[in-house]
Amino acid sequence: MWFKNLQIYRLRDCAISPDKLEEALASMAFQPCGNMDMQSRGWMAPRGEDGALVHVQKDQMLIALGVEQKLLPSAIINQYAQERAEEIEEQQGYRPGRKQLREIRERVAEELLPRAFARRRKTYAWIDPVGSWLVIDAASPAKADELVEALLKCSSDITPALVRTQLSPMSAMTGWLASLSPNSLPAFGSAQATDGSLPERSRRQEAPAGFSIDRDCELLAPGEEKSLVRYVRHPLESAEIREHIEAGKQVTKLAMTWNDRISFVLNENMQVKRLAFLDLLKEESEQQAETADEQFEADFAIMSGELARFLPDLVEALGGEAAVV
């Protein structure tokens, strides 16, 4: 159960116990969609179907939000509504008007809804009360917001806020990538000062300790056109990339590896994508487990332990946390 994406939140004054959180989540336990429901959401057991809503291991907590959605494409509704409208036209002798067509579509949707297929998904979140982190395994901010909203409905003891850092990820990543260049031209295309020195924002920044830069990146130009250049499995020390940076493009995505243990892509909004725990960690987990339950426990223990060390290093690499206003 390894996370693949990280939406990172800081927990302020989090003192909720696993038992209290279990009770809070139970007030919004998942129930499948009823016949006339388009969507249903609620808390599910992270492991299995009938387990606890809060999986606890050495003060670390894992929760999961379940969402079920009915699949009722508008094209299907329109198809049936068109057939119904043609029948009504034959009966009344003239084509239905806009208001009548809208009512037909609404009735058709109500009739089809109980027969629609339902798609279910889970979104996992790790709560670290020791480090005061809430981390959601979601590729999009919308899915993370969905989980946070559900969590706030259940408990007033958890107050998550997105992590903000002193350095913007975009400027930091641009500096790190510029540091790969062998020459000494300004990192962000800024002109030199009259005394020949570089402006502060243009000085090169070495890649942070413990992190190495991999071979994928994305650079975006400012201005209305927002021209975008993407490199995949490409050496990032090339003169071509240096020229993009000198022309003013900034890095919006950068592939990196932390301590030879976790590879990831950081983006300009401090979202971590394509998170991959390297084979050494997974092999360590497999060696500790013989059953599926033991594997789940080992995976969660190793993952949470690694992330608890990785996140402070990432925040520190970005200048530390910004003061809460």
Distance CA 101, CA 200 (A): 63
pLDDT tens-digit map of 224-243: 778 899 999 998 888 888 89
| pLDDT at residue 280 is higher than 70 | yes
Q: Which of 153, 155, 125, 146 is nearest to 13 (CA)?
A: 155
Q: What are phi and psi of 155, to 5 degrees?
A: -140, 135
Mean pLDDT of the chain: 87
Lowest mean pLDDT among 75-79, 199-203, 235-239, 302-306: 199-203
Distance CA 33, CA 36 (A): 8
Distance CA 134, CA 128 (A): 6
pLDDT higher for 325 or 323?
323
The string of DSSP codes covering 88-119 is HHHHHSS---HHHHHHHHHHHHHHHGGGSEEE
- Kindly tell me the number of DSSP H helices and DSSP E strands found in the chain: 8, 12
Given this model, what pLDDT does residue 281 score?
Answer: 76
What are the DSSP E strand ranges found in the chain? 7-11, 39-44, 55-57, 60-71, 117-128, 133-136, 160-162, 211-220, 228-231, 250-258, 262-267, 272-277
| pLDDT at residue 29 is higher than 50 | yes
The mean pLDDT of 137-156, rounded to a whole number, is 94
Amino acid 63 reads I
Chain centroid to CA 231: how far? 22
Lowest mean pLDDT among 28-37, 203-212, 228-237, 258-267: 203-212
pLDDT tens-digit map of 78-121: 999 999 998 898 888 888 899 999 999 999 988 888 888 889 99
Amino acid 311 reads L
Distance CA 148, CA 313 (A): 24
Percent of the chain with pLDDT over 90: 56
| pLDDT at residue 156 is higher than 90 | no
Given this model, what pLDDT does residue 199 score?
Answer: 36
pTM for this prediction? 0.82
Given this model, what pLDDT does residue 292 score?
Answer: 83
Distance CA 112, CA 67 (A): 20
Distance CA 238, CA 244 (A): 10
pLDDT tens-digit map of 46-82: 987 778 999 999 889 999 999 999 988 899 999 999 9
